[in-house]
Structure 1
Amino acid sequence: MKYLWRLNFTFNPVYLRYLLLIIVTLFTLGTADAQTLKGIVTDAATGKPLAPVVVINVRTQQSVYTEDNGTFSLPAKNGDQIAFTFIGYKTLQWKMPPAVGVIDESFKLEVTSYLLKEYTVRTKNYTQYQIDSLTRRSTYTRALAREKGGSVTSPFTLLAEQFSKKSKDIYRFQKNYGYWEDQRFIDSRYTPELVNALTNLTGDTLAYFMNAYPVPYDYARTASELEFKMWIRTNFKEWMRKQQDSTQRKQMMPTVKQ
Protein backbone atom coordinates (compact mmCIF):
# COMPACT_ATOMS: atom_id res chain seq x y z
CA MET A 1 0.00 0.00 0.00
CA LYS A 2 2.84 2.34 0.80
CA TYR A 3 4.33 1.98 -2.68
CA LEU A 4 0.93 2.21 -4.34
CA TRP A 5 0.31 5.55 -2.58
CA ARG A 6 3.58 6.90 -3.91
CA LEU A 7 2.70 5.71 -7.40
CA ASN A 8 -0.73 7.35 -7.23
CA PHE A 9 0.83 10.57 -5.94
CA THR A 10 3.30 10.64 -8.79
CA PHE A 11 0.73 10.31 -11.52
CA ASN A 12 -2.07 12.27 -9.89
CA PRO A 13 -3.28 14.80 -12.52
CA VAL A 14 -3.89 17.45 -9.87
CA TYR A 15 -0.30 17.33 -8.68
CA LEU A 16 0.96 17.30 -12.25
CA ARG A 17 -0.94 20.50 -12.97
CA TYR A 18 0.59 22.16 -9.91
CA LEU A 19 4.02 20.94 -10.97
CA LEU A 20 3.60 22.34 -14.47
CA LEU A 21 2.38 25.63 -13.02
CA ILE A 22 5.47 25.89 -10.83
CA ILE A 23 7.77 25.12 -13.77
CA VAL A 24 6.09 27.74 -15.96
CA THR A 25 6.27 30.31 -13.16
CA LEU A 26 9.97 29.68 -12.58
CA PHE A 27 10.65 29.88 -16.31
CA THR A 28 8.77 33.16 -16.55
CA LEU A 29 10.67 34.63 -13.62
CA GLY A 30 13.94 33.48 -15.11
CA THR A 31 13.24 35.09 -18.47
CA ALA A 32 11.47 38.22 -17.27
CA ASP A 33 14.71 40.16 -17.37
CA ALA A 34 15.81 38.74 -20.72
CA GLN A 35 14.84 41.58 -23.01
CA THR A 36 16.09 43.04 -26.24
CA LEU A 37 15.30 46.56 -27.35
CA LYS A 38 14.96 46.94 -31.09
CA GLY A 39 13.95 50.11 -32.83
CA ILE A 40 14.60 52.90 -35.27
CA VAL A 41 15.88 56.42 -34.60
CA THR A 42 14.69 59.25 -36.82
CA ASP A 43 14.78 63.03 -37.06
CA ALA A 44 11.75 64.42 -35.21
CA ALA A 45 11.13 67.07 -37.87
CA THR A 46 11.85 65.26 -41.13
CA GLY A 47 11.35 61.62 -40.17
CA LYS A 48 14.62 60.64 -41.85
CA PRO A 49 16.65 57.81 -40.25
CA LEU A 50 19.68 58.95 -38.24
CA ALA A 51 23.06 57.21 -38.19
CA PRO A 52 25.36 56.56 -36.48
CA VAL A 53 23.39 57.37 -33.32
CA VAL A 54 24.98 56.05 -30.11
CA VAL A 55 22.47 53.95 -28.16
CA ILE A 56 23.77 53.07 -24.70
CA ASN A 57 22.41 51.10 -21.77
CA VAL A 58 23.32 53.39 -18.87
CA ARG A 59 23.28 50.53 -16.34
CA THR A 60 25.55 48.12 -18.23
CA GLN A 61 27.37 50.78 -20.30
CA GLN A 62 26.90 48.55 -23.35
CA SER A 63 26.45 50.62 -26.48
CA VAL A 64 25.65 50.12 -30.15
CA TYR A 65 25.39 52.32 -33.22
CA THR A 66 22.35 52.67 -35.44
CA GLU A 67 22.64 51.31 -38.96
CA ASP A 68 22.30 53.48 -42.06
CA ASN A 69 18.53 52.93 -41.96
CA GLY A 70 18.38 54.07 -38.31
CA THR A 71 17.75 50.63 -36.81
CA PHE A 72 19.50 49.08 -33.80
CA SER A 73 19.30 46.21 -31.31
CA LEU A 74 20.48 46.40 -27.68
CA PRO A 75 20.15 43.98 -24.72
CA ALA A 76 18.39 45.54 -21.73
CA LYS A 77 16.28 44.74 -18.68
CA ASN A 78 13.16 46.12 -17.10
CA GLY A 79 13.86 49.59 -15.71
CA ASP A 80 17.15 50.17 -17.57
CA GLN A 81 17.81 53.72 -18.73
CA ILE A 82 18.60 53.90 -22.45
CA ALA A 83 20.32 57.02 -23.78
CA PHE A 84 20.38 58.15 -27.41
CA THR A 85 23.03 60.67 -28.43
CA PHE A 86 23.94 62.11 -31.82
CA ILE A 87 25.90 65.16 -32.93
CA GLY A 88 23.65 68.18 -33.36
CA TYR A 89 20.68 66.57 -31.55
CA LYS A 90 19.36 66.63 -28.01
CA THR A 91 20.20 63.57 -25.92
CA LEU A 92 17.14 61.37 -25.37
CA GLN A 93 16.63 59.30 -22.20
CA TRP A 94 14.18 56.37 -22.27
CA LYS A 95 13.25 53.78 -19.62
CA MET A 96 12.73 50.11 -20.46
CA PRO A 97 9.16 48.99 -19.66
CA PRO A 98 8.32 45.68 -17.94
CA ALA A 99 8.05 43.10 -20.70
CA VAL A 100 9.46 39.79 -21.90
CA GLY A 101 11.33 39.18 -25.12
CA VAL A 102 11.82 41.74 -27.87
CA ILE A 103 10.51 45.29 -27.58
CA ASP A 104 10.07 47.29 -30.78
CA GLU A 105 10.01 51.07 -30.44
CA SER A 106 10.63 54.14 -32.56
CA PHE A 107 12.58 57.11 -31.23
CA LYS A 108 12.69 60.69 -32.50
CA LEU A 109 15.57 63.05 -31.81
CA GLU A 110 15.18 66.82 -31.87
CA VAL A 111 17.76 69.13 -33.39
CA THR A 112 19.67 71.31 -30.93
CA SER A 113 19.84 75.01 -31.78
CA TYR A 114 22.65 76.36 -29.64
CA LEU A 115 22.66 79.90 -31.02
CA LEU A 116 19.18 80.72 -29.76
CA LYS A 117 19.55 78.99 -26.41
CA GLU A 118 23.01 80.28 -25.56
CA TYR A 119 21.66 83.75 -24.84
CA THR A 120 18.41 82.74 -23.20
CA VAL A 121 19.22 79.69 -21.08
CA ARG A 122 22.02 80.07 -18.55
CA THR A 123 22.76 78.28 -15.30
CA LYS A 124 25.55 79.80 -13.20
CA ASN A 125 26.89 81.56 -16.33
CA TYR A 126 27.17 78.27 -18.25
CA THR A 127 26.32 78.18 -21.94
CA GLN A 128 23.81 75.64 -23.19
CA TYR A 129 26.67 73.63 -24.69
CA GLN A 130 28.39 73.44 -21.29
CA ILE A 131 25.16 72.40 -19.58
CA ASP A 132 24.58 69.65 -22.16
CA SER A 133 28.22 68.55 -21.93
CA LEU A 134 28.01 68.21 -18.14
CA THR A 135 24.79 66.23 -18.50
CA ARG A 136 26.36 63.85 -21.01
CA ARG A 137 29.44 63.35 -18.85
CA SER A 138 27.22 62.58 -15.87
CA THR A 139 25.27 60.06 -17.95
CA TYR A 140 28.38 58.25 -19.17
CA THR A 141 30.44 58.52 -15.96
CA ARG A 142 30.99 54.78 -15.57
CA ALA A 143 32.09 54.23 -19.15
CA LEU A 144 34.40 57.25 -19.20
CA ALA A 145 35.98 56.38 -15.85
CA ARG A 146 36.92 52.85 -16.85
CA GLU A 147 40.64 52.38 -17.46
CA LYS A 148 42.39 49.59 -19.32
CA GLY A 149 43.70 47.16 -16.74
CA GLY A 150 42.58 49.45 -13.93
CA SER A 151 40.77 46.72 -12.00
CA VAL A 152 42.78 43.74 -13.24
CA THR A 153 43.80 41.33 -10.49
CA SER A 154 45.60 38.66 -12.52
CA PRO A 155 47.15 38.04 -15.96
CA PHE A 156 44.18 35.84 -16.80
CA THR A 157 41.76 38.66 -16.01
CA LEU A 158 43.81 41.04 -18.15
CA LEU A 159 43.74 38.59 -21.05
CA ALA A 160 40.00 38.09 -20.68
CA GLU A 161 39.41 41.84 -20.64
CA GLN A 162 41.42 42.36 -23.82
CA PHE A 163 39.18 39.92 -25.68
CA SER A 164 35.93 40.99 -24.01
CA LYS A 165 33.43 42.52 -26.46
CA LYS A 166 31.97 44.68 -23.70
CA SER A 167 35.40 46.09 -22.83
CA LYS A 168 36.16 46.77 -26.48
CA ASP A 169 32.84 48.58 -26.87
CA ILE A 170 33.53 50.75 -23.83
CA TYR A 171 37.06 51.68 -24.94
CA ARG A 172 35.83 52.44 -28.45
CA PHE A 173 33.11 54.62 -26.92
CA GLN A 174 35.74 56.47 -24.84
CA LYS A 175 37.82 57.09 -27.95
CA ASN A 176 34.87 58.44 -29.92
CA TYR A 177 33.45 60.46 -27.03
CA GLY A 178 36.16 63.11 -27.26
CA TYR A 179 35.59 63.50 -30.99
CA TRP A 180 31.83 63.84 -30.48
CA GLU A 181 32.33 66.49 -27.81
CA ASP A 182 34.65 68.44 -30.11
CA GLN A 183 32.07 68.32 -32.88
CA ARG A 184 29.31 69.44 -30.53
CA PHE A 185 31.40 72.41 -29.46
CA ILE A 186 32.01 73.37 -33.08
CA ASP A 187 28.28 73.02 -33.75
CA SER A 188 27.57 75.33 -30.80
CA ARG A 189 29.54 78.14 -32.49
CA TYR A 190 29.33 77.38 -36.20
CA THR A 191 25.56 77.37 -36.54
CA PRO A 192 23.32 77.73 -39.61
CA GLU A 193 21.65 80.70 -37.91
CA LEU A 194 24.94 82.57 -37.54
CA VAL A 195 26.10 81.81 -41.08
CA ASN A 196 22.71 82.84 -42.46
CA ALA A 197 22.88 86.16 -40.60
CA LEU A 198 26.32 86.90 -42.07
CA THR A 199 25.87 85.57 -45.62
CA ASN A 200 22.11 85.40 -46.30
CA LEU A 201 22.61 81.84 -47.54
CA THR A 202 19.72 79.43 -46.99
CA GLY A 203 18.74 75.81 -47.54
CA ASP A 204 21.04 73.51 -49.50
CA THR A 205 23.33 76.39 -50.47
CA LEU A 206 23.92 77.17 -46.81
CA ALA A 207 24.64 73.53 -46.02
CA TYR A 208 26.98 73.27 -49.02
CA PHE A 209 28.97 76.31 -47.87
CA MET A 210 29.31 75.03 -44.28
CA ASN A 211 30.45 71.61 -45.51
CA ALA A 212 32.94 73.21 -47.90
CA TYR A 213 34.41 75.33 -45.09
CA PRO A 214 34.47 73.32 -41.84
CA VAL A 215 35.80 75.07 -38.75
CA PRO A 216 38.91 73.51 -37.14
CA TYR A 217 38.32 72.63 -33.50
CA ASP A 218 41.35 74.56 -32.20
CA TYR A 219 40.19 77.71 -33.98
CA ALA A 220 36.64 77.32 -32.67
CA ARG A 221 38.08 77.13 -29.15
CA THR A 222 40.45 80.10 -29.36
CA ALA A 223 38.81 82.58 -31.75
CA SER A 224 36.93 85.54 -30.32
CA GLU A 225 33.41 86.33 -31.47
CA LEU A 226 34.69 89.01 -33.84
CA GLU A 227 37.46 86.78 -35.21
CA PHE A 228 34.98 83.98 -35.77
CA LYS A 229 32.62 86.22 -37.73
CA MET A 230 35.52 87.58 -39.79
CA TRP A 231 36.55 84.00 -40.58
CA ILE A 232 33.06 83.26 -41.92
CA ARG A 233 32.93 86.46 -43.98
CA THR A 234 36.40 85.86 -45.46
CA ASN A 235 35.57 82.31 -46.48
CA PHE A 236 32.23 83.45 -47.85
CA LYS A 237 33.95 85.97 -50.13
CA GLU A 238 36.30 83.25 -51.36
CA TRP A 239 33.37 80.89 -51.89
CA MET A 240 31.45 83.54 -53.87
CA ARG A 241 34.50 84.21 -56.05
CA LYS A 242 34.81 80.50 -56.82
CA GLN A 243 31.12 80.32 -57.66
CA GLN A 244 31.44 83.26 -60.06
CA ASP A 245 34.53 81.77 -61.72
CA SER A 246 32.71 78.48 -62.15
CA THR A 247 29.72 80.24 -63.70
CA GLN A 248 31.94 82.17 -66.12
CA ARG A 249 33.73 79.00 -67.22
CA LYS A 250 30.41 77.33 -67.93
CA GLN A 251 29.27 80.32 -69.99
CA MET A 252 32.49 80.27 -72.03
CA MET A 253 32.15 76.60 -72.90
CA PRO A 254 31.03 76.09 -76.51
CA THR A 255 27.57 74.67 -76.95
CA VAL A 256 27.21 71.44 -78.87
CA LYS A 257 24.64 71.56 -81.62
CA GLN A 258 22.22 68.69 -81.71
Structure 2
Amino acid sequence: MSKNILFVLLAICSITSAYSQQNMEGIVVDATTKQRIATVRITNTTSKRLIFNNSRGEFQLFATPGDTLIAEREGFHSDTLVYIDQKVLIFSLKRSVIYIPEVKVSARKSPEELYKQAQEDYKRAFGLAKPGSAFSVGPTGAGLNINTIYNLLSKEAKNARRLTKLLEAEYQQNVIDSKYTPDLVRNYTGLSGDELKRFMQEYRPSYYFIIASDEYELMEYIKNKYKLFKLNPNLRHLPELPKINIDVSK
Protein backbone atom coordinates (compact mmCIF):
# COMPACT_ATOMS: atom_id res chain seq x y z
CA MET A 1 0.00 0.00 0.00
CA SER A 2 2.82 2.36 0.94
CA LYS A 3 4.45 1.70 -2.43
CA ASN A 4 1.27 2.73 -4.22
CA ILE A 5 1.05 5.96 -2.21
CA LEU A 6 4.69 6.76 -2.99
CA PHE A 7 4.08 6.13 -6.68
CA VAL A 8 1.06 8.45 -6.67
CA LEU A 9 3.01 11.19 -4.90
CA LEU A 10 5.87 10.94 -7.40
CA ALA A 11 3.42 11.07 -10.27
CA ILE A 12 1.75 14.16 -8.81
CA CYS A 13 5.14 15.85 -8.34
CA SER A 14 6.13 15.04 -11.91
CA ILE A 15 2.87 16.40 -13.29
CA THR A 16 3.18 19.54 -11.15
CA SER A 17 6.77 20.06 -12.29
CA ALA A 18 5.82 19.56 -15.92
CA TYR A 19 3.02 22.09 -15.69
CA SER A 20 5.18 24.63 -13.82
CA GLN A 21 7.86 24.46 -16.50
CA GLN A 22 7.20 26.80 -19.41
CA ASN A 23 8.57 26.50 -22.92
CA MET A 24 9.83 30.07 -23.16
CA GLU A 25 10.82 32.00 -26.27
CA GLY A 26 13.50 34.65 -26.33
CA ILE A 27 16.01 36.66 -28.29
CA VAL A 28 19.60 37.87 -27.85
CA VAL A 29 20.64 41.36 -29.02
CA ASP A 30 23.74 43.56 -29.01
CA ALA A 31 23.37 46.15 -26.23
CA THR A 32 24.96 48.85 -28.41
CA THR A 33 23.61 48.27 -31.90
CA LYS A 34 20.40 46.44 -30.92
CA GLN A 35 21.14 43.94 -33.68
CA ARG A 36 20.50 40.25 -33.11
CA ILE A 37 23.38 37.99 -32.07
CA ALA A 38 23.60 34.35 -33.17
CA THR A 39 25.38 31.28 -31.74
CA VAL A 40 24.89 32.40 -28.14
CA ARG A 41 25.11 29.73 -25.44
CA ILE A 42 22.18 29.93 -23.02
CA THR A 43 22.32 27.93 -19.78
CA ASN A 44 19.58 27.28 -17.26
CA THR A 45 21.77 27.00 -14.16
CA THR A 46 18.88 25.57 -12.15
CA SER A 47 18.02 22.67 -14.45
CA LYS A 48 21.56 22.47 -15.92
CA ARG A 49 20.13 22.53 -19.44
CA LEU A 50 22.13 24.22 -22.20
CA ILE A 51 21.07 25.38 -25.66
CA PHE A 52 22.30 27.65 -28.48
CA ASN A 53 20.13 30.23 -30.20
CA ASN A 54 19.64 30.22 -33.99
CA SER A 55 21.02 32.45 -36.75
CA ARG A 56 18.22 34.97 -36.16
CA GLY A 57 19.18 35.34 -32.51
CA GLU A 58 16.04 33.48 -31.34
CA PHE A 59 15.78 30.57 -28.91
CA GLN A 60 13.35 28.36 -26.97
CA LEU A 61 13.97 26.68 -23.62
CA PHE A 62 12.06 25.26 -20.69
CA ALA A 63 12.15 27.28 -17.49
CA THR A 64 10.40 27.31 -14.14
CA PRO A 65 9.72 30.55 -12.23
CA GLY A 66 12.82 31.28 -10.18
CA ASP A 67 15.26 29.67 -12.64
CA THR A 68 18.49 31.58 -13.36
CA LEU A 69 19.47 31.87 -17.02
CA ILE A 70 22.85 32.95 -18.40
CA ALA A 71 23.68 33.96 -22.00
CA GLU A 72 27.34 33.78 -23.10
CA ARG A 73 29.22 34.41 -26.32
CA GLU A 74 32.86 35.04 -27.18
CA GLY A 75 33.60 38.76 -27.54
CA PHE A 76 30.73 39.77 -25.23
CA HIS A 77 30.13 40.07 -21.51
CA SER A 78 27.62 37.50 -20.26
CA ASP A 79 24.09 38.53 -19.30
CA THR A 80 22.06 36.95 -16.49
CA LEU A 81 18.34 37.06 -15.82
CA VAL A 82 15.89 35.29 -13.53
CA TYR A 83 12.73 33.91 -15.08
CA ILE A 84 9.63 35.07 -13.21
CA ASP A 85 6.69 35.33 -15.55
CA GLN A 86 8.10 37.22 -18.55
CA LYS A 87 6.31 36.68 -21.84
CA VAL A 88 9.59 36.91 -23.78
CA LEU A 89 13.15 36.50 -22.53
CA ILE A 90 15.50 39.19 -23.83
CA PHE A 91 19.26 39.02 -23.30
CA SER A 92 21.27 42.18 -24.01
CA LEU A 93 25.00 41.49 -24.40
CA LYS A 94 27.66 44.18 -24.15
CA ARG A 95 30.81 43.82 -26.21
CA SER A 96 33.98 43.09 -24.28
CA VAL A 97 36.00 45.11 -26.82
CA ILE A 98 35.55 48.65 -28.14
CA TYR A 99 32.86 48.69 -30.80
CA ILE A 100 33.68 50.50 -34.04
CA PRO A 101 30.78 50.87 -36.46
CA GLU A 102 31.18 49.16 -39.81
CA VAL A 103 32.54 51.53 -42.43
CA LYS A 104 31.58 50.89 -46.01
CA VAL A 105 34.64 51.22 -48.23
CA SER A 106 33.99 52.94 -51.52
CA ALA A 107 36.22 53.74 -54.48
CA ARG A 108 36.66 57.34 -53.38
CA LYS A 109 40.02 58.80 -54.35
CA SER A 110 42.46 60.01 -51.73
CA PRO A 111 43.17 63.76 -51.39
CA GLU A 112 46.57 63.22 -53.02
CA GLU A 113 44.99 61.48 -56.01
CA LEU A 114 42.40 64.24 -56.39
CA TYR A 115 45.09 66.90 -56.25
CA LYS A 116 47.23 65.09 -58.80
CA GLN A 117 44.20 64.75 -61.07
CA ALA A 118 43.55 68.49 -60.74
CA GLN A 119 47.16 69.18 -61.70
CA GLU A 120 46.67 67.09 -64.83
CA ASP A 121 43.37 68.77 -65.66
CA TYR A 122 44.80 72.26 -65.21
CA LYS A 123 48.36 71.59 -66.36
CA ARG A 124 48.56 74.86 -68.28
CA ALA A 125 47.37 76.83 -65.25
CA PHE A 126 50.04 75.25 -63.05
CA GLY A 127 52.62 76.04 -65.70
CA LEU A 128 51.61 79.70 -65.80
CA ALA A 129 51.44 79.93 -62.02
CA LYS A 130 55.08 78.76 -61.79
CA PRO A 131 56.72 80.48 -64.75
CA GLY A 132 60.29 79.79 -63.69
CA SER A 133 63.25 82.13 -63.35
CA ALA A 134 62.94 85.70 -64.60
CA PHE A 135 66.54 85.51 -65.80
CA SER A 136 67.94 83.54 -68.71
CA VAL A 137 71.46 82.80 -69.84
CA GLY A 138 72.14 83.25 -73.55
CA PRO A 139 75.16 83.65 -75.83
CA THR A 140 75.67 87.19 -74.57
CA GLY A 141 75.38 86.27 -70.89
CA ALA A 142 72.63 86.62 -68.31
CA GLY A 143 69.55 88.59 -69.27
CA LEU A 144 65.85 89.04 -68.60
CA ASN A 145 63.53 86.25 -69.74
CA ILE A 146 60.85 88.18 -71.67
CA ASN A 147 58.39 85.26 -71.74
CA THR A 148 58.65 84.80 -67.99
CA ILE A 149 58.08 88.49 -67.29
CA TYR A 150 55.08 88.47 -69.63
CA ASN A 151 53.62 85.50 -67.80
CA LEU A 152 54.12 87.21 -64.45
CA LEU A 153 52.27 90.32 -65.61
CA SER A 154 49.58 88.80 -67.80
CA LYS A 155 45.98 88.52 -66.64
CA GLU A 156 45.95 84.87 -67.63
CA ALA A 157 48.87 84.13 -65.32
CA LYS A 158 47.19 85.95 -62.42
CA ASN A 159 44.06 83.91 -62.94
CA ALA A 160 46.18 80.76 -63.12
CA ARG A 161 47.85 81.57 -59.80
CA ARG A 162 44.44 82.22 -58.27
CA LEU A 163 43.22 78.87 -59.58
CA THR A 164 46.18 76.96 -58.17
CA LYS A 165 45.57 78.54 -54.75
CA LEU A 166 41.96 77.42 -54.91
CA LEU A 167 43.01 73.90 -55.87
CA GLU A 168 45.53 73.78 -53.03
CA ALA A 169 42.84 74.98 -50.60
CA GLU A 170 40.48 72.29 -51.90
CA TYR A 171 43.20 69.70 -51.40
CA GLN A 172 43.60 70.77 -47.77
CA GLN A 173 39.84 70.48 -47.19
CA ASN A 174 39.86 67.01 -48.75
CA VAL A 175 42.63 65.97 -46.35
CA ILE A 176 40.51 67.15 -43.41
CA ASP A 177 37.44 65.33 -44.76
CA SER A 178 39.40 62.09 -45.18
CA LYS A 179 40.14 61.92 -41.42
CA TYR A 180 37.43 64.03 -39.78
CA THR A 181 34.52 61.89 -40.95
CA PRO A 182 30.86 61.73 -39.84
CA ASP A 183 31.31 58.07 -38.85
CA LEU A 184 34.27 58.91 -36.62
CA VAL A 185 32.53 61.84 -34.93
CA ARG A 186 29.30 59.86 -34.48
CA ASN A 187 31.26 57.04 -32.84
CA TYR A 188 32.77 59.30 -30.15
CA THR A 189 29.81 61.66 -29.61
CA GLY A 190 26.69 59.70 -30.42
CA LEU A 191 25.39 62.67 -32.43
CA SER A 192 23.35 62.24 -35.59
CA GLY A 193 21.34 64.24 -38.10
CA ASP A 194 21.40 68.04 -37.84
CA GLU A 195 23.26 67.99 -34.51
CA LEU A 196 26.08 65.98 -36.07
CA LYS A 197 26.32 68.39 -39.02
CA ARG A 198 26.28 71.41 -36.72
CA PHE A 199 28.99 69.96 -34.46
CA MET A 200 31.23 69.07 -37.40
CA GLN A 201 30.90 72.55 -38.89
CA GLU A 202 31.44 74.42 -35.62
CA TYR A 203 34.45 72.37 -34.50
CA ARG A 204 36.07 71.51 -37.83
CA PRO A 205 39.83 71.14 -37.19
CA SER A 206 42.44 72.93 -39.26
CA TYR A 207 44.46 71.29 -42.01
CA TYR A 208 47.69 71.72 -40.05
CA PHE A 209 46.21 70.06 -36.96
CA ILE A 210 45.00 67.11 -39.04
CA ILE A 211 48.37 66.42 -40.68
CA ALA A 212 50.25 66.82 -37.38
CA SER A 213 47.98 64.72 -35.14
CA ASP A 214 47.56 60.96 -34.82
CA GLU A 215 44.33 59.01 -34.29
CA TYR A 216 44.46 59.33 -30.50
CA GLU A 217 44.98 63.10 -30.62
CA LEU A 218 42.08 63.49 -33.05
CA MET A 219 39.88 61.37 -30.77
CA GLU A 220 40.77 63.57 -27.76
CA TYR A 221 40.09 66.68 -29.83
CA ILE A 222 36.59 65.44 -30.71
CA LYS A 223 35.82 64.44 -27.11
CA ASN A 224 36.97 67.80 -25.70
CA LYS A 225 34.99 69.76 -28.29
CA TYR A 226 31.95 67.63 -27.56
CA LYS A 227 32.11 68.68 -23.89
CA LEU A 228 31.88 72.31 -25.05
CA PHE A 229 29.10 71.45 -27.47
CA LYS A 230 26.98 69.85 -24.73
CA LEU A 231 27.13 73.06 -22.66
CA ASN A 232 25.28 74.93 -25.40
CA PRO A 233 24.35 72.88 -28.49
CA ASN A 234 22.83 75.95 -30.20
CA LEU A 235 25.90 78.14 -29.80
CA ARG A 236 27.25 79.60 -33.05
CA HIS A 237 30.86 80.69 -33.22
CA LEU A 238 31.64 83.84 -35.14
CA PRO A 239 33.67 83.18 -38.29
CA GLU A 240 37.27 84.30 -38.34
CA LEU A 241 37.87 87.74 -39.79
CA PRO A 242 39.49 87.64 -43.23
CA LYS A 243 43.20 88.34 -43.32
CA ILE A 244 44.11 91.56 -45.11
CA ASN A 245 47.59 91.95 -46.52
CA ILE A 246 48.67 95.59 -46.81
CA ASP A 247 51.61 96.39 -49.05
CA VAL A 248 53.33 99.29 -47.27
CA SER A 249 55.94 99.62 -50.00
CA LYS A 250 53.46 101.30 -52.37
TM-score between the two structures when normalised by the length of structure 1: 0.40
TM-score (norm 2): 0.41
**Structure with the higher helix share, 1 or 2:** 1
